[in-house]
Amino acid sequence: MKWLTVDEESAGQRLDNFLIRHLKGVPKTHVYRIIRSGEVRVNKGRAS
């Protein structure tokens, strides 16, 4: 598990773009897959 905090610069950015930028080396398809499968949480709730 990895915790990321959104700074003011990243506020309002789409979740997929934020994760791609912060998870260097992780393929975009994997980022999209973990978002769709509910593995990504925002404020304790599943991201959709």
- What are the structural domain ranges in the chain? 1-48
| pLDDT classification of 36: cutoffs 50, 70, 90 | very high
Instruction: Please state the rounded mean pLDDT for residues 25-33.
Output: 97
- Decide which of 45 and 48 is more confident: 45
Q: Is the pTM of this model over 0.85?
A: no
Query: Residue 19 burial by CB count (10 A; 0-12/13-18/19+): exposed, middle or buried?
Result: buried
Count of Cβ atoms closer than 10 Å to residue 32 Cβ: 13
